[in-house]
Chains A and B, each alone.
Chain A
Amino acid sequence: MTALLEVRQLEVVYNRVATAIQGVSLEVPEGSIVALVGTNGAGKTTTMRAISGFLPSEDAEITDGEITLRGERINGRMPHQLAKAGVILVPERDKVFSTLSVQENLAFAGREGGAITIERIHGYFPLLRERGTQLAGYLSGGEKQMLAIGMALLCRPTLLLIDEMSMGLAPIVIKDLMEKLQQISRELNLTVLLVEQNAKAALSIADHGYVMESGRVVFTGKAAELMTHPDVREFYLGGAGQAENKSYRDIKQYRRKRRWWG
């Protein structure tokens, strides 16, 4: 069985000189959850952007390698083309429309017909129903993440990319979200690529894992195996990453909220 998404020997160069990632290969089989973990600056985000077409066009360039979706080469496609093909990204920041209400956010993407309805999203995340009329900008970090996943699901993804889902969230919230995601993936046979600094949380629900370091994949294997791998345990699951997560970015969650009517 060929994987839904295959990345082979990917190389991305910034500003023509700085090689951000090199020789990155990974596979995301249909219906599975794959975690791509590593510390800040390991090249995870670059990999994710290359897949979703969000590399800033002037600064970064795929110089080598290939990305295929169901065997079809997709590197260099524009984000909206990829979105049509079913590659849906939940970005790390600005993942919801903060000037729209929760309902409006969901309606924004919701299409007629299909298995995934707003009702179903409400079923997974009942809180979104309660907060329906609230502006998304006023949601907590965890609620925003729920909403973002809900929106993404309504776009009928074949491949869901989630960038730093656990960023800035409390451990209990992370645990809840991860479990929910696992449930959704199983029920909908949804393929998910998780890109996470929080390796422990991501690997806990993933089928397969890749560990990145300095722009290369350094470990790969079944998630359960990686969890018990001594080096991985020492460097990535020791909790050091957790403390680092409390960086300035968390503060951004509390920026002044914009509203449409001013």
Chain B
Amino acid sequence: MEFVATVVILTCTYALLAAGIVILYKAGRVVNFAHGEIAIVGGYVFYSSGMMFSGGEMSPWLAVLGAIVFSVIMGAFIYATMMRRVVGEPFYVAILVTVGIAIVLKSAIIVIWRAQHLTIDVGIAPAIRLAGGATLSYMDVASVALTIAFFIALYLFFTFTRLGVQFRGTAENPLLASQRGVNVNLVLSLAWIIAVLAATLSGVLYGGRAFLSTESVTIGLAGLTAALVGGLDSLRGAVIGAFVVALAQYLTVRLIDPVLSEALPFLILLVVMSIRPWGLFGTVEELDRV
């Protein structure tokens, strides 16, 4: 039971990250190496905005508001000032830009938050008691609920809204989309905003369960692995990939050697890349683009 709960919660964290990575890849053929940094900075912002006006006691509403404002501004800013300029450049240029963003954000954690270990103590009281004395907090339950809600919202958006449909069309063929009157810049900014929002949510959940620090940006790597394992252009694959990574990580800790758990995402990545380079649900023809 405890095992299932842990893997499910970890899957949620990674799936949110992987979904953002997949959306960015689909929309702009960008592999975002700054996703972990964005997630953790998002967590820090959530914390700081929650603490802003309340001496020591976190205000969840302010925190949520701060995180959303951050996501919108951050997403639009990254696209408008950086990613828009590398459209049409070889793919590695965009990747290098994201690596640069990652470094800047990590420095921001050090400069603004002094690399403090922060925990987000919202809803940490036990909500469910499992057999054997283990407990799940409200935050744990919320993380599963929010992740499911996020994916449902994503599904509804892409299926039933005009903007969502335009988004999918732009992802497939931006040239035709712009010819059919779609504001491609708006769509790509939106992709970044959604991705940053998902990452921030993931960072907040992670900060509730573990803690935020300059080291915790490595969850970005797990998210990227999940996305690659699932297939970079498949949202369904992102969830499955997240599950594979979470399960493998947990099993390594419990059955093999805990020390290996850090190297594990890379191992999975190597194995998948050598057997199915396009990932579990990816498209074969996408391969030559990366």
Contacts and interface: CB of A to CB of B under 8 A. Distances in A.
Q: Do chains A and B touch in the complex (CB under 8 A)?
A: yes
Interface of A: 52, 54, 79-80, 83-84, 88-89, 91, 94-100, 104-105, 107-109, 111, 151, 155, 255-256, 258, 260-262
A83 B178 contact: yes
Contact of B166 (A84, A108, A151, A262): A108
A104 to B, nearest CB: 5
A84 B178 CA distance: 10
15 contacts: A54-B175, A97-B177, A99-B168, A100-B172, A108-B162, A108-B166, A109-B181, A155-B180, A256-B285, A258-B285, A258-B286, A260-B168, A260-B171, A262-B281, A262-B282
A154 to B, nearest CB: 8
A88 B179 contact: yes
Interface in B127-180: 158, 162, 165-166, 168-169, 171-173, 175-180
B288 to A, nearest CB: 13
A interface secondary structure, majority: loop
B180 A262 contact: no
B181 A83 contact: yes
B20 to A, nearest CB: 15
A262 B231 contact: yes
Contacts, number: 82
Contacts of A88: 179
B180 A109 contact: yes
A83 B181 CA distance: 7
B234 interface: yes
Leading 10 A-B pairs by shortest Cβ distance: A262-B234, A97-B169, A80-B178, A109-B180, A262-B281, A104-B165, A99-B172, A83-B179, A260-B168, A262-B236
Contact of B179 (A80, A100, A255, A258): A80
Nearest to A262: B234
Contacts of B233: 258, 262
Nearest to A98: B172
A261 B175 contact: no
Contacts of A105: 169
A79 B283 contact: no
B237 interface: yes
B168 A97 contact: yes
Given A261-B234, A261-B236, A262-B236, A94 B169 contact: no
